[in-house]
Structure 1
Amino acid sequence: MVNNSSQMRAKTMARPRTFDESTVLTAVAEAFWTQGYEATSTRDLVNRTGLNQPSLYNAFGDKRSLYRRALVHYLECSVRDRIRRLEALPNAGMAITGFFAEVLSRTLNDPFHRGCLLVNSALEANAEDMDLRQAVAEEFDAIRSFFEGRLQAFRLQSVDSVEIDVKQGAHHLLSVLLGIRVLARINPDPACVTDAIGIAIKSLGLPPLALAMFTENHCTESI
């Protein structure tokens, strides 16, 4: 015979979630993005999400697991979304320029100077956190691969393309991207960031920033 406590546990386990997962992960990502992993307390996460600690951790795991889930959510709504949209552009050169134009816009219009959560994760990851380091490295490689693929296509499309090794060009673009994201956290000077991007794309014969027309389509408004 099942006792009352067992019945209560079964009911608790079967109880459906009463919150929207995407909304909660957005709130969690905002907290970590603004304050950093170490500085974000459980109380901060509770206040941001409106969930109590047991509900939060039962749904997503411990703080580290929650951070990983929030990072993936952030990437889906920002970097991965951007790559999917821009890879569909017929002009491969504009895909790269558009990528940097969107990054520039978000960098200069962020009043909190938060930079990029992915880059911030790379800076915060310690030597023992191999899972996070590997996840960040894979995302960086996906961005590099996007640059390399678009550079290769641009070389075939345009007479303005510069004869360089596309792999080296992709490495250069990734380095510039990461550099301006770090710089923007400390000194988001518009001229400095714009010049860094402008020189990088000009050196590869890519369309100038002034030609980049884009409409961001994030799955959240704030990430």
Structure 2
Amino acid sequence: MARAREFNDNAVLDAATDRFWRQGYVATSVRDLGEAMGLVPASLYNAFGSKHALFALCLDRYLDRNMRERIERLEASHPPRAAIETFLKEIVARSLADPRGCLLVNSALEVAPHDVEIGSVIAARLGELEAFFHRCVLAGQRDGSIAAASRARDLARLLLTTVMGLRVLARSKPEPALLRGAARQALALLDPPFKEQST
């Protein structure tokens, strides 16, 4: 009969995620993880298999909470143009508030180039974010809030690039005016052309 776990999964995964987030994947040892999670190495391996498997679980869980849930919330509660604007504003606010940066972006820079499995997870999640922007742009072009002359796919990719750039920039130069200005300029590219009203 298998022995029941004697710890709270959410609590230990939160602790592991925070340690990976603060130190990076490579610099975080199994001992570091055990200390953060309150587990001896044997218990950690028995519960999660390996450091790599634990990191993949933490990353996937982080992305569900911090990207997928935000996308679902904004699409359900905002018109398409406002959903894009709110997403970027929240990214700027989060980037300024949390010196750890974004675990997705940190992992894309540190782990993905050397790890096919993690790289495929990151690529898939970035694809989800691009798809969200693409849906919003198409809907915004239909309702007139976004320039119809621009290719929706190109605008979606521009917005994805803006999000990644904001997150990277915030790690070395977390200046509110800089980040907000960059986001504002990206959003300006969505504006439909000005039409003079006839008098």
Match of 2:146 in 1: 161
Tell me if the contact between 1:28 and 1:70 (Cα under 8 Å) persists in the aligned partners.
yes
| Structure 2 residue 47 is matched with structure 1 residue 53 | no
Number of matched pairs: 191
Residue 128 (structure 1) shift? 4.3
Match of 1:97 in 2: 85
Unaligned runs of 5+ in 2: 193-199
Write out per-residue CA displacement over residues 55-113 of structure 1, whole angstroms, 9 at most, x where no aligned residue.
11111111111100000111111111111111112411111111111111111112xx2
Shift in CA distance, 83/198, structure 1 to aligned 2, threshold 3 Å: same
Write out per-residue CA displacement over residues 146-179 of structure 1, whole angstroms, 9 at most, x where no aligned residue.
0000111111123x42121010000100111101
Letter in 2 for 1:182: V
| Structure 2 residue 132 is matched with structure 1 residue 146 | yes
SS of the residue 1:115 aligns to: coil
TM-score by length of 2: 0.91
Distance in 1 separating the partners of 2:82 and 2:53: 37
Tell me if the contact between 1:26 and 1:74 (Cα under 8 Å) persists in the aligned partners.
no
Letter in 2 for 1:198: R
Choose from 88, 99, 104 the match for 1:118. 104
User: Mean Cα displacement is larger for which, 57-66 or 18-27?
Assistant: 18-27
Match of 1:202 in 2: 188
Choose from 15, 32, 53 the match for 1:44. 32
TM-score by length of 1: 0.82
Distance in 1 separating the partners of 2:190 and 2:53: 40
Choose from 19, 23, 30 the match for 1:35. 23
Query: Which structure carries more relative contact order (alpha carbon 8 Å, separation 6+)?
Result: 1
SS of the residue 1:88 aligns to: helix
Tell me if the contact between 1:26 and 1:73 (Cα under 8 Å) persists in the aligned partners.
no
Match of 2:65 in 1: 77
Letter in 2 for 1:28: A
Letter in 2 for 1:161: I
Matches within 5 A, 1:58-69: 58-69=46-57
Unaligned runs of 5+ in 1: 1-9, 207-223
Flag the structure with higher helix content: 2
Distance in 1 separating the partners of 2:110 and 2:17: 15
Residue 27 (structure 1) shift? 1.0
Distance in 2 separating the partners of 1:80 and 1:164: 26
Match of 2:195 in 1: none
Distance in 2 separating the partners of 1:157 and 1:89: 16
Match of 1:180 in 2: 166
Choose from 149, 156, 160 the match for 1:170. 156
| Structure 2 residue 43 is matched with structure 1 residue 17 | no
Q: CA RMSD in A?
A: 1.4
Residue 205 (structure 1) shift? 2.0
Runs of 4+ in 1 over 4 A off after TM superposition: none
Tell me if the contact between 1:92 and 1:151 (Cα under 8 Å) persists in the aligned partners.
yes
